[in-house]
Structure 1
Amino acid sequence: MRGAWTSARVRAAEEPVLAATPEGALMRRAAFGVAVQAAELLAEHTGAVSGRRVALLVGVGNNGGDALWAGVFLRRRGVAVTAVLLDAERTHPAGLGALRRAGGRTATGTVAAAALEHADVVLDGIVGLAARGPLRAKAAELVEHVSAPILAVDMPSGVDPDTGVTSGPHIRAERTVTFGARKPVHLLNPAVCGSVHLVDLGLELDSPDVYALDAVDVGLHWPVPGLADDKYTQGVAGIAAGSSTYPGAAVLAAGAAVLATAGMVRYVGPAAEAVRAQWPEVVATGSVADAGRVQSWVAGPGIGTGSEGRDTLERVLADGVPVCVDADGINLLARSPTLFDARDPATPLVLTPHDREFARLVGDPGSDRVGAARRAAVDLRSVVLLKGNTTIVAAPDGRVLANVARGSWLATAGSGDVLSGLVGALLASGMDPWLAAGCSAWLHSLAGELAARGAPTSASGILAAIPEALRGIRVQQAHREY
């Protein structure tokens, strides 16, 4: 897993390293890493490094100093470097002096605009970790003159480092070089960061504030049958979903559980005929009481918010096995919080709301979706999977995982029903609920991308792409092991 740490924790971890290192040494190490990536970017876009032009957008403080020292290293490779100073009086003095001695130039006013317009690559050294809010007017005006690829120093300016939120003008980088550790913005809003490259500064940091999975992580944890497994040892997932009005929710959730390699899927509800017609391997009955033994439940998609749906949810929560609650189930919990009392507090519970369902349940998540999901997980003693283009999975113990969707193909009716079926299958296998939710979100996104292939798709298409997605992660895991 990749990890990211908040700006406050990174700054605290830097202090002992800075105290034990000669003055300026860490900055020069960081800047050298920036220069290496800037040279690669030049070569990619122009076919050469020497003789090309780089402009530095230089703010005050150490972030500007990093950019200036990167300019020094680029000058040594024959790059023409012009530093556009946003505040000449407060520019990092050592970095500015070194750049001038190396033959770099500085620019303001119309000369600065021309330097930005004619640059082959631009380095964003406007603000660093301490800054909050959008770019100020002067910086935003200068950025308007940039058409070249931008390399961000540590993080794109104008983006919140801890939430990834943009509230106004900001940098959109093609590449970012960060120092010491990734920050949450790199995982929460990769669209503004581009590819992220880490320069190791020897920081001592413990558990990350935000995690992100990759294909190998998901492949490593996804359950596959062993030689001694049978349908029961692989896990039996129960699906309480659908109604006469919404039979499709049951078909999609049950199908996802089947394709996710649950050993057996039991369905309860009014849509049994539709489920059996599509998935003959599913054992379908009319009620939770008649379902037989399961290792997990999925409850909520399409069950309605009337008394029948409420009774179903209450029985499922009281069954003593891990439960994933989605859609109408979340609305029922929001309307009748006493339903939570049906569940033994020690029984794992995964809630999968989108933003509006989350608002009904605990209030508007606001811009800090990580903080909102983390608080809700603690308050509700549940794993909370807050859906969105960046899905947040928070556990009651404080762990947070972020999964960024591959496009917007999942924004289609029934997509959430597929996700809940995946979660239910992994819960039935005995997987840690936080990891089960995270792996499901990751695979769900991949299936959406595979189903779409550059064009809009449907929940049925996403469902059908699950086997291909699973084959893909297994292949990547095998290659890594080999």
Structure 2
Amino acid sequence: MILGIGNDLVDLDRFRRVLERRPGLIEKLFTEAEREYALRRSDPTERFAVRFAAKEAVLKAMGVGIGAADWHEIEVVRNENGRPSLSLTGRAAALAAQQGIEGWRLTLSHSEIIAQAVVVALGAEMASPLLGPIGAQPLPRPGAIDGGGLVPIVTPEEMNAIDRAAPEPVEELINRAGGAVARAAIELLGGAYGRRVVVLAGKGNNGNDGRNAASRLRAQGVHVTMINAADAPEVLPDCDLVIDAAYGTGFRGEWDAPIAPPGCLVLAVDIPSGINGLNGSCAGDVLEADATITFAALKPGNVLGDGLACSGELAVADIGLDTRSASTHLVGAAAVASWIPELASNAHKWQSAVWVVAGSPGMGGAAALCSGAAARTGAGYVRVSTPGGAAIDLPIESVRTDLPSDAWATEVLADLARFDALVIGNGLGIADATKEQIRQVVAAATGRGVPTVVDADGLTALGTDVSRFVSATTVLTPHDGEFARLAGRAPGEDRIADARALAVESGAIVLLKGRSTVVAAPNGDVLVSIAGDQRLATAGTGDVLAGIIGALLACGVDPLRAAAGGAFLHGRAGALGWRRGLVAGDVIAHLPAVLDDLTYLRP
């Protein structure tokens, strides 16, 4: 199975000049055997260049940068047939082993001007025909923006206030930001000397950050070309990296970005130029970034809509600003791990019991998916009740207790005190009589303080009267259409503001579904998860999410955190599945892998 592919090109003339100016590099880059083989030629440049290309291609195949391993730990050798192959030792070998790489294929070639190496990393076939590729990771990598704790998110207006409150002069903040951009650029490039960078700079502080970074890069041997964003050509000059410092998070209007040259990387400063910093929308063409570095805190435009899609790898640089006033945060894996309690040694099933009231004729799958997800997330006991009786097989671990077809609220309320959480609404239907039963149960659960997830048809039943039935122990989980039924208006471009407004109006926790999931509390606190992707756009995954949140509530997790943590678990479980053909049941099957990995992140 191919686990990675790396390709690298080396300009022979440039490489020859570098070696002539810095002959000590030969010993630094190449092993004794490699040096001995190359120096048999009167001009060893071609042999040195293809070997250097091979070393860089190996690092690319493993997805790591220069510095992850010593150059001598990646050696080009020749087998008994004279065919070039690779020998890895030390840190390089350890990295390969961690990634399940068991072998390599290498091809070397050159012309009069270019040397090239192509590397293929091979490993055992690792896939489950039922679940998806085993090579997928349950959690984001530790350095990912959502791999750690909570990351503050502030609006452009809030960021301006934070800037103004800083004791340092703006020139010092620009200097710090420019340093962070320069370091990010060098990391992307895998080095500085001889690299070519185009800096696209506007007239504001975003452009000032870019200009500061440009001067730092020049000092380290980078060939820098400065281009004024207002006068940019249609196609940017050939380069290894474009630094997009044209316009920042306060940009309004429309701007068509120039075209980046083929094969180059793009680093956005603060946000890809042209993206609205408040809501992530864009008007015009945007330079899609391979990475975006922002300062002190994320902005909503980094994590919403087109902004998330165009930002590439997100990073926040600490430049000494105080962001403790932020009321919105991005959810990371370590934060979720800290929220989920460990099971006590004397735990029993009734300490985390969930009652799922769901399903109807033709919609029995909703009850099955919801209850299955609750069990897999850690509910000790799951009861499933369907008015009129379940019309589909339920998970064997669930306890089936049928309800009468009509006037079933009384039976639910009679036994509700035994449960730690209630999930209601999935697949129940929207007949008037059913709506009335749902409203009775939700109102009583609220009055008794039973944490409750209301989803799907339950949301339709509550409608714009939602505030009469719910409280801060209730989690509402609408998609855009259901949001409109609750709020009397569809969500707009500022999804954070809209979710927060509905939470305040209703008094409940509101989870607004989408590519980025926004979870808001009545006190104004907001948590955002970017864990999910388009794989979850399939029938039944919403039922799975409701069951996950119900289980977290039953385990004692605070409702805001249960909703946000549930969205994170849901997204990461989906990310373990096939990129095409994922079904809701696959997400349930992957939940234990995500939960198990989270245990290693607990403080």
Q: CA deviation at 1:405?
A: 3.8
Q: Deviations over 1:235-258 (max 9, x none)?
A: 221111001221111111111111
Change (3 A) 1:339 1:218: closer
Say if 2:534 is the partner of 1:418: no
For 1:92, the equivalent position in structure 2 comes to none
Q: CA shift at 1:308, angstroms? A: 4.0
1:146–1:12 distance in 2 versus 1, CA, 3 Å: farther
Question: Are 1:7 and 2:156 matched, yes or no?
Answer: yes
Q: Which residue of 1 aligns with 2:61?
A: none
- Structure-1-length-normalised TM-score: 0.85
Q: Which residue of 2 aligns with 1:398?
A: 524
How much has 1:275 moved relative to structure 2? 6.5
Where does residue 348 of structure 1 map in the other structure? 473
Please state whether the residue corresponding to 2:426 is helix, strand or coil: coil
Letter in 1 for 2:221: G
- Offset, 1:419: 0.6
Moved more, 350-359 or 278-287: 278-287
In structure 1, what is the equivalent of residue 411 of structure 2? 290
CA–CA distance in 1 between the matches of 2:596 and 2:363?
Answer: 31
In the TM superposition, 1:364-383 aligns within 5 A as: 364-383=490-509
Measured in 1, the distance between the counterparts of 2:562 and 2:276 equals: 29
Within 5 Å, give how 1:79-98 maps onto structure 2.
79-87=222-230
State the Cα distance separating 1:124 from its structure 2 match.
0.6
- In the alignment, which residue of structure 1 is the partner of 2:596? 471
Task: Tell me if structure 2 keeps the 8 A contact 1:223–1:426.
Answer: no
Native 8 Å contact 1:297 1:316 kept in 2:
no
Structure-2 residue corresponding to 1:134:
254
Match status 1:228 vs 2:228: no
Q: What 5-or-longer segments of structure 2 have no aligned partner?
A: 1-149
2:259 alignment counterpart: 143
Q: 2:568 aligns with which of 442, 453, 456?
A: 442
> Is the CA contact (8 Å cut-off) linking 2:372 and 2:398 kept in structure 1?
no
Matching residue within 155, 178, 182 for 2:271: 155
Out of 256, 266, 269, the residue aligned to residue 383 of structure 2 is 266
Tell me the equivalent position of 1:329.
458
Task: Give the counterpart letter for 1:242 in structure 2.
Answer: G
Residue 316 of structure 2 corresponds to 198
Q: Which of 176, 179, 182 in structure 2 is aligned with 1:32?
A: 179
Determine the C-alpha separation between the residues in 1 that align with 2:160 and 2:388: 55
Give the superposition deviation at 1:210: 2.1
1:316·1:323 contact (CA, 8 Å) conserved in 2?
A: no
The 4+ residue runs of structure 1 with deviation greater than 6 A are none
Taking a change above 3 Å as real, the CA distance of residues 38 and 195 of structure 1, as seen in their structure-2 partners, is same
Distance 1:132 1:417, change over 3 A: same
Cα distance in structure 2, aligned partners of 1:404 and 1:166: 19
Cα 1:249–1:35, aligned 2, differ >3 Å: closer, same or farther?
A: same
Number of the residue aligned with 2:145:
none
Partners of 2:420 and 2:321 lie apart in 1 by 43
Q: 1:216 aligns with which of 334, 337, 357?
A: 334
Counterpart residue number, 1:96: none
Q: Distance in 2 between matches of 1:295 and 1:461?
A: 26
Q: Give the one of 275, 280, 288 matched to 1:164.
A: 280
How far did residue 435 of structure 1 move? 0.7
Matches within 5 A, 1:36-185: 36-43=183-190, 48-87=191-230, 112=233, 116-135=236-255, 137=256, 140=257, 142-143=258-259, 148-185=264-301
CA-to-aligned-CA distance 1:3-50 (integer Å, 9 cap, x gap)? 111222222122243x544x623212211111111111122xxxx421
Shift of 1:214: 1.7
Q: Secondary structure at the match of 1:132?
A: coil
Q: Give 1 or 2 for the bigger CA radius of gyration.
A: 2
Q: Which amino acid aligns with 1:216?
A: A
Task: String of CA shifts for 1:216-251, please: whole Å, max 9, x gaps.
Answer: 222221244211221222x22111100122111111
Residue 409 of structure 1 aligns to a residue whose secondary structure is helix
Where does residue 371 of structure 2 map in the other structure?
254
Classify the secondary structure of the residue corresponding to 1:117.
coil
> Matches of 2:532 and 2:384 in 1, distance apart?
31
TM-score, normalised by the number of residues in structure 2? 0.69
| Rounded Cα–Cα distance in structure 1 between residues aligned with 2:225 and 2:509 | 50
User: How far 1:339 sits from its partner (Å)?
Assistant: 6.4
> Greater share of helix residues, 1 or 2?
1
Secondary structure, counterpart of 2:292 in structure 1: strand
**Shift of residue 187 of structure 1?**
3.2
Deviations 1:144-165 (A, max 9, x none): 6565211111221111112222
Aligned counterpart in structure 2 of residue 454 of structure 1, from 579, 596, 602: 579
- Could you say what secondary structure the match of 2:528 adopts? strand
Q: 1:311, 1:51 → 2: CA distance?
A: 72
Flag the 1:448–1:440 CA change in 2: closer, same or farther, 3 A. same
Give unmatched runs, 5+ long, in structure 1: 88-107
Distance 2:423 2:329 in 1: 25
Alignment CA distance shift 1:277-1:119 (3 Å):
closer
Contact kept in structure 1, 2:328 and 2:528, CA below 8 Å? yes
1:292-317 CA deviation, whole Å, 9 max, x = no partner? 22222111110000134223312321
| CA distance in 1 between partners of 2:283 and 2:419 (Å) | 46
TM-superposed deviation, 1:288: 4.4
Q: Is the 8 A contact 1:268 1:288 kept in 2?
A: no
Instruction: Indicate if the aligned counterparts of 2:499 and 2:519 stay in contact, CA closer than 8 A.
Output: yes
Q: Distance in 2 between matches of 1:288 and 1:294?
A: 15
| CA distance 1:438–1:113, shift in 2 (3 Å) | same
Distance 2:506 2:467 in 1: 9
1:64-115 deviations in Å (ceiling 9; x for gaps): 111111111111111111111134xxxxxxxxxxxxxxxxxxxx67xx566x
Aligned length: 439
Distance 1:187 1:210, change over 3 A: farther
